[in-house]
Amino acid sequence: MIAIEILAARPWVARLGLTLIHFVWQGALIAAIYAAARKWGAGTAGPNDRYLLACTALAAMAAAPAVTWMLLREPAPESAAITFAAPMSAARTAAARFILLPLPAEGYRAAPGPFLPWVVALWLTGATVFWLRLLVGWMLAERLRYRMARPAPAVWQRTLDRLKSRISVARPVRLLVSGLLDAPAAIGWLRPIVLVPAGALAGLPSAQMEALLVHELAHIRRHDWLVHILQSAVEAVFFYHPAVWWISGHMRAERELCCDDMAVSITGDPVLYARALAELDSARFVQPAVMAANGGSLAGRIARLLGQSSASRRASNGPASAAALILLAIGAWVALAQSAVRPQFEVASVKPSFNTSIQHVRPLPGRLDADASLQVLMQYAYGVQAFQVVDAAGWLQPGRYEIEAKADGHATRNQMFLMLRSLLEDRFQLKTHVETRDLPVYALVAARGGLKLPPPKEGACVNSPADAPVEWAGGRMAVPGELQPAKGLCGSAGVHLERSGPRIEGGKIAMPELVRMLSGVLDRSVIDKTGFTGLFDLQLDFVADETTPVLPPPPPGSDMPGPSISQALRDQLGLRLESTKGPVEVIVVDHAERPSGN
């Protein structure tokens, strides 16, 4: 349980867990397409064609989770999200980050909290076992080079060299006699060797032995050892998916058939080669990491060489296999879609608001209270800044709305904002899509004099809300200094309106948190170009002006002294803003209506 709790605290666990779950339907779908393609080419495709098809399918299976991982961006920490429509002087209220991706983004957040860490824990355990199995197999295969092995007689080494030239193998290949194997085998990629059993060189007719050697040289020419290692690595990573093993088994079988065909093309006598394989039928089991001549189904290989191929009979199962895999893909997708359903409020009231106070959206225990415009509601629901909401067609009509919504008492703030997103789509008929646009941005770089980021001080922030000092709750109001000032959460920055102007402050924050705060204050995306990866305490005092449109400006004629935010960054933190252009993800409003009745 301790390990699960540790995993649950890691931000990448949910991303990895959902990637592994997505691969259930992705792998099944790829396997179904593979089965259909294999059945379609059953009458005309040879072993090489079927082998390439299986390699392509397995490569697609390896690539699909990598693409999913890149599309599933990690969510920002809950304490690091804020929308600047919230009152600046109020307690910080975190807004959910929106994960911009074409896959079901809600699944990232709606998946049960304890579920994904268990998925990742089980996967790590299984993958570790299979990687150890692969490592041990490779070590045992390498030991065959030296343990109970000796160079073959010179006449057979010359025979192997002659066969090499006929099969166009340019690399040097040693022929060794092994006391541990009962069948010829090829090992290695950079320094390949061919091992033959002790006594095989004298016990088998020379023509049959040469045919078997050609088979092993064919493995070397085709770089099968390297493909075999990569194939085994894919099996180790995706061990939990039966379709991976099914396609991988086809690869191994077709690989042996390809080498059989090459051996027959060199010897010119399929019957002779079939007899050589028949001599290996009683050979004992060979280490899986070794590509031995008796690999695969010897009976099937021999029958095929003699013109009695059972491939057509095996192919008759293709439609049933394809249908089963399609059903598996559909079932996995449906199960994932059901688990990724966006949560909704139990009861919600939406009505027009005529208040003129500061707009707010407050997630509270078991309920959400809001009084804001539709654009501000979208900022909270999708976890974006105002400049990331694009309403070119004017769907966001003016006006504010008062929302009172009830949720399950155990709902988190992130789930609350997902519920708000559902409410907007249901009551306001809100429809949006995501685009990446080239917009003006700021690059945050180190100033000429270098960074001036204060190192973190102990006690400057609290690790959780429960650690915060007790605040006044009625009765006699505490005199100044009687109560300890409330401290912010470590890792989270906030904006406060002081008498001298705005202040951004936080304890033990990282550069992405400062970048996030600056993006909101400047109403423009800020890109970190500092390269700074440590933590620091933050206190930035400045005066609002036209560069900080979301902050209230000083009263007219007040001539409030103080630096602009650009000057404050340079003088107080050793940072500088450079105006440039860059890609920014935005939410484009396609449709919106006035809310339906309660």
Is the pLDDT assigned to residue 313 strictly greater than 50? no
Q: Which residues pair with 443 in a beta bridge?
A: 527, 578
Strand order in the sheet with 367-373: 347-353, 400-406, 367-373, 360-364
Q: What is the pLDDT of residue 8?
A: 55
Is the pLDDT assigned to residue 417 strictly greater than 60? yes
For the stretch 343-391, pLDDT in tens is 889 899 999 999 888 888 888 888 899 999 999 999 989 888 888 999 9
> What is the DSSP pairing of strand 400-406 with strand 367-373?
antiparallel
Least confident of 214-223, 356-365, 471-480, 491-500: 471-480
Q: What is the pLDDT of residue 295?
A: 58
Local structure of 71: helix, strand or coil:
helix
Is the pLDDT assigned to residue 32 strictly greater than 60? yes
Q: What is the pLDDT of residue 330?
A: 58
- Write down how long the chain is: 598
For the stretch 424-439, pLDDT in tens is 999 999 999 989 889 8
Most confident range (mean pLDDT) of 43-47, 50-54, 332-336, 341-345 is: 50-54
Our measurement of the distance from residue 385's CA atom to the centroid of its chain's CA atoms, rounded to an integer in Å, reads 25
Residue 438: how many CB atoms within 10 A of its CB? Answer: 9
Q: What is the pLDDT of residue 101?
A: 33
Q: What is the pLDDT of residue 168?
A: 87
Is the pLDDT assigned to residue 248 strictly greater than 50? yes
- The mean predicted confidence, pLDDT, of the chain is 79
Averaged pLDDT, 192-216: 85
Q: Which amino acid is at 89?
A: S
Averaged pLDDT, 583-589: 90
Is the pLDDT assigned to residue 490 strictly greater than 50? yes
The answer to whether 193 and 176 are in contact (CB under 8 A) is yes
Residue 377: how many CB atoms within 10 A of its CB? Answer: 28
Show the tokens assigned to 157: 């080494």
Is the pLDDT assigned to residue 114 strictly greater than 70? no
Give the domain ranges of the chain: 2-74+115-136+319-339, 78-111+343-591, 147-310
Q: What is the pLDDT of residue 323?
A: 55
CA atoms of 195 and 180, how far apart (whole Å) = 10
Averaged pLDDT, 197-202: 78
